[in-house]
Amino acid sequence: MKDSETLKKIVKDKYAEIAVSSERKSKGCCGGKEVDYSVLSLDYSSLNGYVKNADLKLGCGIPTNHAGIKPGDRVLDLGSGAGNDCFVARSIVGENGFVTGLDFTDEMLDKAKRNNVMMGYENVEFVKGDIEQIPLPDNSYDVVISNCVLNLVPDKEKAYAEIRRVLKPGGHLCVSDIVLKGDLPDDMREAAALYAGCVSGALQKEDYLQIIHESGYSQVDVKEELANDVPDEYLQQHVSKRAIEAYRASGAGIFSITVTATK
């Protein structure tokens, strides 16, 4: 397994590339061959607050559906990308609430801020920061959400401790993420593009939930679980045919789960 800083650089570089590519496409430009990361994403287009230019189809769930966000809440979205979940959350918290998006990729932050200017929201902000060291005050948010991002954080224990720190007493989280049942072949885990696509960094479901429990949360509950049959066409962009055959034969599975927990 690569060291923490190398993994972060892989993720940052890949998501910078995705942000830049999305800007080219929105302007009608063409680039080289692009990887489709939408294989795990769900359809947001019917949700209140949906902003098409913010939807890069990088998620694996819709955490706002289960987050229990109320009008007036302060919401933090970790790994906010171009702002997709932030704008949906803003439609729920209304004028009296506040939404913060946190991301460590400059290109994504730039895109999110441009989207926010376009929408004219004064109660949505986007800040740069690492989820392992969230640059925000203690006890400051009612709800923390995240969509297919915590899986990419090398030190998940530190991430969940930081989430607990910034949540208000009695506040709660709602996270959509990728987990495994069974093991992926080694070369799939080593594929950098798969890591940035939320697959090869996945933990076993039991291990993932155990981290949340051990971080001091209560009422840990899996609200939704979806099997993800990642197509061979996607896997072939990154790993050998033999690795795919070994994966199919192993009985291992890739799942999207949406989890809630309370501080």
What was the pLDDT predicted at 32?
Answer: 38
Higher per-residue pLDDT: 201 or 118: 118
The total domain count for the chain is 1
Tens of pLDDT, residues 32-49:
344 455 567 889 999 999
pLDDT at 87 over 90: yes
What was the pLDDT predicted at 52?
Answer: 94
pTM of the model as a whole = 0.89
**Mean pLDDT over each residue of the chain, to the nearest integer:** 88
Higher per-residue pLDDT: 112 or 242: 112
Per the CB < 8 A criterion, the answer to whether 90 and 121 are in contact is yes
Neighbours of 42 (CB within 10 A): 16
What are phi and psi for residue 196, nearest 5 degrees?
-70, -15
Tens of pLDDT, residues 209-257:
999 999 999 999 999 999 887 788 878 888 888 888 888 888 888 899 9
Range of the domain at 51: 4-262
For every residue of the chain, which 3-state class applies, written as one string? CCCHHHHHHHHHHHHHHHHHHHHHHHCCCCCCCCCCCHHHCCCCCCCCCCCHHHCCCCCCCCHHHCCCCCCCCEEEEECCCCCHHHHHHHHHHCCCCEEEEEECCHHHHHHHHHHHHHHCCCCEEEEECECCECCCCCCCEEEEEEECCHHHCCCHHHHHHHHHHHEEEEEEEEEEEEEEECCCCHHHHHCHHHHHCCCCCCEEHHHHHHHHHHCCCEEEEEEEEEEECCCHHHHCCCCCHHHHHHHHHHCCEEEEEEEEEEC
Higher per-residue pLDDT: 53 or 9: 53
Q: What is the domain-level CATH number for residue 63?
A: 3.40.50.150
**What's the rounded mean pLDDT across residues 68-81?**
98
What was the pLDDT predicted at 188?
Answer: 77
What was the pLDDT predicted at 238?
Answer: 81
Spatial CB neighbours of 181, under 8 Å, sequence gap ≥ 6: 204, 205, 252, 253, 255
- As a whole-number percent, the residues of the chain with pLDDT over 70 amount to 90
